[in-house]
Structure 1
């Protein structure tokens, strides 16, 4: 469900300290019935177990494939347009206690690079020739008294072209991409018990202590 920007800005998250020059493009919520205040790591694990783009709807997969094809043809995603070249990585703004919470080189095959990870929030970033973007995930109180996942998309468009690009893709994000992501992540939360039971049944992985 789409939320007002205040649903992000009113939360006491660390991300606000480092993104004052970014615009809040979108704020979205994902329902996690029965979640408690300490279940943010559980939700992240469920999302990883639920799979990535391959498990989303066909229209969403098509849009992403089209975007990467256009990016390749137009040079939007060349190394010189990304983090550490065209833009300064957000991670460089962090104090050590935050930057050391993740390995910045690990992205799990995602185009996003991790920025930091805490018990109730995490941030990832991406940069190309259109935008420098941050995806922030935070654990927030829900209307029913429980907790739910909030996602905020923060952006710094690359000039007029970047602003036009974001305006053009906005309907696709709101009508196709985010609803598909909602179904995927909320399903992952519902199915987490099955995943946990399977993990417990197989026991610890070899070499674990």
Structure 2
């Protein structure tokens, strides 16, 4: 479900300290029935196992295929356009105690992990069009449980980047995010059961 930008800005996330020059593009929530306050790592593991962007349904995969072809044709994704090359990685901004929570390896296709805490994680990508952050947060839900929220923060690369973001917005809202909602909520529902503790107690 799409949320107002204030659903992200009003939360005390650590990312606010480091991403003040990024614009909030989208905020979405994902239902995780039965989740508790300590289940954020469980949800991240479920996403990693069954919720990757390259595991989406046919419409989203078709869009990603078109995007890859265009990127190859126009050089949007060449190594010199990424984080650490065209732009400085957000990892350079975060303090050591946060940077040490992740090694910067790939978390979901083109995204790399900046940091992870008990209730938030930041993933990053950059190319010729945009420098983008995917912020995942774990928040209390209206039913007394907890839910996942995703905020997409962007820094477009000049006029071209702003035009690109405007052109792809309908595809994000009508295809990518609805598909991601079904995928991530299913990943939560179908996550592996937690092992029982010795003696048969959960």
**TM-score, scaled to structure 1:** 0.90
**Counterparts of 1:103 and 1:54 in 2: how far apart (Å)?**
22
- Tell me if structure 1 keeps the 8 A contact 2:53–2:109: no
Task: Tell me how far 1:49 sits from its aligned partner.
Answer: 2.0
**Counterparts of 2:179 and 2:91 in 1: how far apart (Å)?**
29
**How many residue pairs align between the two structures?**
196
**Structure 1 portions without partners, runs of 5+:** 202-209
Residues 96, 47 of structure 1: alpha-carbon distance in 2 compared, 3 angstrom cutoff: same
Residues 53, 23 of structure 1: alpha-carbon distance in 2 compared, 3 angstrom cutoff: closer
| 2:200 matched residue in structure 1 | none
**Counterparts of 2:131 and 2:175 in 1: how far apart (Å)?**
22
**Counterparts of 2:95 and 2:175 in 1: how far apart (Å)?**
37
Pairing 1:3–2:3 present: yes
Pairing 1:63–2:60 present: no
**Structure 2 portions without partners, runs of 5+:** 197-202
Q: Provide runs of 4+ in structure 1 moved above 2 Å.
A: 51-55
Task: Tell me how far 1:51 sits from its aligned partner.
Answer: 4.4
Pairing 1:114–2:113 present: yes
Deviation per residue, 1:159-182 (Å, 9 max, x gap): 000000000000000000000000
**Counterparts of 1:141 and 1:179 in 2: how far apart (Å)?**
22
Pairing 1:126–2:125 present: yes
**TM-score, scaled to structure 2:** 0.93
| 2:178 matched residue in structure 1 | 179
Q: Output the aligned Cα RMSD.
A: 1.4
| 1:85 matched residue in structure 2 | 85
